[in-house]
Chains A and B, each alone.
Chain A
Amino acid sequence: DAKTTQPPSMDCAEGRAANLPCNHSTISGNEYVYWYRQIHSQGPQYIIHGLKNNETNEMASLIITEDRKSSTLILPHATLRDTAVYYCIVRVVLASGSRLTFGEGTQLTVNP
């Protein structure tokens, strides 16, 4: 799977948008971009994923650049409960399943 690069930490004010960047310059055409987060000692929580189009769900938006070499996760109105480690993961999808390989992630701290 392609390697991703994320800033180790970010801060965001409560109520503001949190924009988390991710670089994946070696991504292949059949690899998806997934975002997960992990609140201390809980299981990783799925947020969103996409291949090349921008995606939005009830939790977040995912913006993927046209060349697919980077993406941004947007939490539109961050709350204190969004404080977590956010992982950007590139994953090839196979019919028999394929692993997620976690990197170091971004520690997002939402401040009151």
Chain B
Amino acid sequence: AAGVIQSPRHLIKEKRETATLKCYPIPRHDTVYWYQQGPGQDPQFLISFYEKMQSDKGSIPDRFSAQQFSDYHSELNMSSLELGDSALYFCASSLDSRGGSPLHFGNGTRLTVT
């Protein structure tokens, strides 16, 4: 079965640079979620989109923005990168027009800021 695809798998950036992470949800899924997981921490919710509109917002820094496009893929844009942004970034998708549909996660993008 098709899974959530994230790219790139690894990304190395320097401080103050920008980064763009991409997420391709499972076909027909209408909701995308972004999570950040720092070293030794549990995944933290950043933001979600339902039918291309922002549906929920968590602890996402103002330096980050995201959107969902007409083909349902999503991009997380990160500017003025800081060392503390080094983390695993996971995208998940679900079919939320069906209540109770679980989130399915991709294998993440590992961002390293030097």
The reply to whether A95 and B100 form a contact with Cβ atoms under 8 Å apart is: no
Stretch of A17-25, A42-50, A63-71, A73-81 that contacts chain B:
A42-50
- Partner of A102 from the list B30, B43, B88, B97 (CB cut-off 8 Å) is B43
**Size class of the B contact interface (CB-based, 8 Å):** 20 to 34
Answer whether residue B24 sits at the interface, using C-beta atoms and an 8 A cutoff: no
The reply to whether B105 and A43 form a contact with Cβ atoms under 8 Å apart is: yes
The reply to whether A95 and B99 form a contact with Cβ atoms under 8 Å apart is: yes
B90-103: CB near A (< 8 Å → 1, else 0) gives: 10101011011011
The reply to whether B45 and A99 form a contact with Cβ atoms under 8 Å apart is: yes
The reply to whether A95 and B97 form a contact with Cβ atoms under 8 Å apart is: yes
The interface on chain A, measured as residues whose beta carbon lies within 8 A of the other chain's beta carbons, has a size of 25
Answer whether residue A13 sits at the interface, using C-beta atoms and an 8 A cutoff: no
Bound-state CA distance A41–B109 (Å) is: 10
Answer whether residue B58 sits at the interface, using C-beta atoms and an 8 A cutoff: yes
Answer whether residue B13 sits at the interface, using C-beta atoms and an 8 A cutoff: no
Answer whether residue A101 sits at the interface, using C-beta atoms and an 8 A cutoff: yes
Residues of B9-65 contacting chain A, CB below 8 A: 30-31, 33, 42-45, 48, 50-51, 55-56, 58
Query: Residues of B at under 8 Å CB distance from A?
Result: 4, 30-31, 33, 42-45, 48, 50-51, 55-56, 58, 88, 90, 92, 94, 96-97, 99-100, 102-108, 110
* 16 sampled A-B residue pairs with Cβ under 8 A: A32-B100, A41-B88, A41-B108, A41-B110, A42-B107, A46-B102, A46-B105, A93-B99, A94-B96, A96-B31, A96-B50, A96-B51, A99-B33, A100-B92, A102-B42, A105-B42
Query: Residues of A at under 8 Å CB distance from B?
Result: 32, 34, 38, 41-46, 49, 51, 87, 93-105
